[in-house]
Amino acid sequence: MADVVRSILLYSWRKDDYIIFVRYLMGTAYLPAPLHSIGYNFFSAIVPKSSRMFFLDVNPNVAASRINNNRIDIEMFENLSSLKKVRAKALALTRFDDWIIIDSNLPTEAVTSNIRTHM
């Protein structure tokens, strides 16, 4: 909680083009149900939000492959079973706000182009 308050104090008053607070909003998907929805709604009420919020959706198999190919250490929630559960909860959380869902299974250039289309 202190980290959320600190980040809001440091960044919400700045005149930046974008601020990423996803770790507070979609990070709640790691909480057990139904706490993930309660946590999301709580943080959604206090963190800065935008009219254009992007959810970069990745199939769990693609995510697992990317994690395994790019990291030495794997975290406890980075196995296929956990990735499936967290993705399902995160996608469900997108209904609470006007998230733009971007297919991020595509190559980086295509994902970037898709994001730019919505900006």
pLDDT 10s digits, 21-78: 566 788 889 889 999 999 899 888 887 777 888 999 999 999 999 999 988 888 888 8
- The full set of domain ranges for the chain reads 2-117
The whole model's pTM is what?
0.81
Share of the chain above pLDDT 90, in %: 53
Tell me, what's the pLDDT at 4? 67
- Compute φ and ψ for 98, nearest 5 degrees: -90, 70
Our CA dihedral for 86, 91, 97, 100, rounded to 10 degrees, sits at: 120
CA distance 15 to 29: 29
